[in-house]
Amino acid sequence: RVRLRTDVELPVWARRATNTPPGITTATGVPRQLRACSFNMKFPGQGSKKQYQAMVDMLSDYDVVFIQELVSAPFDRTINGVMRKAYPGARTLFTLMEDHGFQYALSDEKTGKADNKDNTNHSEYFVAFYKDAVLRYDRDRSGFIDAPLVANATFDRVPWAFHFTTADATLDFTVTSVHTAQESDQVARRQGELMRTAQYAANASEKDQIILGDMNFQRCDEVQGGVPSGFVTLNATCEITNVGRDGKPFDHVLYRPTFTDNDLVPNSFVVLDLVELMRPYWTDPDMDYPAPPGANANTFASYFSDHKPIEFRMVYGVRDDD
């Protein structure tokens, strides 16, 4: 991989308390917690203002991080005879994550509504960053869940399923990262995308199936009608996950209680307050911190994102039940 170095020293992030539920510890030989995060980072790789160091420091304590809206691979690549030059920002993001101990699992190709032959935001990669001291990525059991990858009849962006096994082999699971249709009037298309993703999960040999990411739900009633049968959302209280004037419950983690209830740490779903977490990193003396809401939302997104990261935890360290 191409590696970039930086001499900028990051401030120490005042991290939240773990709020470990009773009976769950991190001691050797007993159940442990796997910390997972999903984050639509708003076109990482594109533009020159992104504060990657701040966001990577925020993500550094997780065991696995799923990113949506990645518009460039971290390296130049030729696919179907087309050379794609990597955006410097993508290289920076991947290098900084690697410096924090992460490996990465990257979809083979981009996927989008009309094109996937350039590095614009018309199409995206799916990526998961993970720590191999905790997780092992199974490439043979991972991949896009449908085809074609461009102008798909069901999906605006065909989801990628990531299969992981913990390093101690006590838990394996599949996480399908999604970014559904975004227009407010595309309720039926979003429902169709999630139903097809749920069908993929139902037909898989792995029973622990999680669907997460930017689902673009516009209202709580759409959440109630859009979650596929057999699944529930960890964002059951319909918390707002975008950054801006009009709060939307965009981001969710879906799972099947029948198979995965006992693998999730109760009450561990958290929506991170990205605006406040990034505030200590702002160092521009010529510009006030662009804290939303209002007109500052777009400015804030150019430096950070228009979505808040979401967090949940899983239990491992005991025998897998499937």
Q: Give the tokens for residue 305.
A: 């994102």
Neighbouring C-alpha atoms within 13 Å toward the C-beta of 63:
20
**Which pTM was predicted?**
0.90
* 16 contacts: CB under 8 Å, gap ≥ 6: 270
Per-residue pLDDT of the chain (322 residues; tens, 9 = 90+): 333 333 333 233 222 333 333 334 443 456 899 999 999 999 998 888 999 999 999 999 999 999 999 999 999 988 777 788 899 999 999 999 999 999 999 999 999 998 887 777 889 999 999 999 999 999 999 999 999 999 999 999 999 999 999 999 999 999 999 999 999 999 999 999 999 999 999 999 999 999 999 999 999 999 999 999 999 999 999 999 999 878 999 999 999 999 999 999 999 999 999 999 999 999 999 999 999 876 688 999 999 999 999 999 999 998 766 7
Phi, psi for 46 (deg, rounded to 5): -100, 140
- Give the single-character DSSP code of 61: T
